[in-house]
Amino acid sequence: MWDVSYKRTIGSKGLPEGFEYPRSGEDNYTILGPGQTSVDISTTIKFSDYEGTLKGVAELYLWGWVEYSDGFPGSVRHRSEMCVGLLPVIGDDILRPHTHAEHNGADEDCLKQPMTTA
C-alpha cells in the first residue's frame, strides 16, 4: 500500500512543528517485481499552487509513504516515508525538490510504524 499527498503553505516558511503528515484518504495498491518502478498519476498539483510557489508567496510539500512485505514467508512488514519541499529555480519556471528534515526514513527511522498488514 502506498499514499502520496501534498500540502500548500501560504505566507509561512516550512511545515509547522509536529505536522501529522495525514493520509490523502485514498488507498493505492500495486505489485512491483525486482527492478520495476511505479509512477503516481493520482497526485496532481493545482496551477495556482505551482504559480504561487514560483512567485514566492506559497510553499509546496509532497509527502508519502509505502508499506510492503518481501515475497518470502514470515517476512516482516516494512515502511518507508518521504517528504520533499519544492523550491523555485531562480530565472526558470521549474521547481526543484529538496529533502525535508522530517518524515524521511525507512523501517525503524520512520515517524510512524506500519499501519497495514500483508
Longest dimension (CA), the chain: 53
Q: What is the mean pLDDT of residues 33-43?
A: 73
Q: How far apart are CA 86 and CA 38, in angstroms?
A: 21
Amino acid making up residue 20: E
Between these two residues, 9 and 84, which has the higher pLDDT value?
84
pTM given for the model? 0.76
Contact (Cβ atoms closer than 8 angstroms) between residue 51 and residue 94: no
pLDDT in tens, 44-95: 788 888 888 888 888 888 888 888 887 778 888 888 998 888 888 877 878 8
Contacts for 24 with CB less than 8 Å, ≥ 6 apart: 3, 4, 5, 42, 43
- DSSP-assigned letters across all residues of 38-102: ----S----HHHHHHHHHTSEEEEEEEEEEEE-SSTTPPEEEEEEEEEEEEPTTSS-EEEEE-SS
Residue 8: per-residue pLDDT: 60
Polymer length in residues for the chain: 118
Q: What is the pLDDT of residue 88?
A: 85
* Contacts (Cβ under 8 Å, ≥6 apart) of 7: 15, 60, 61, 63
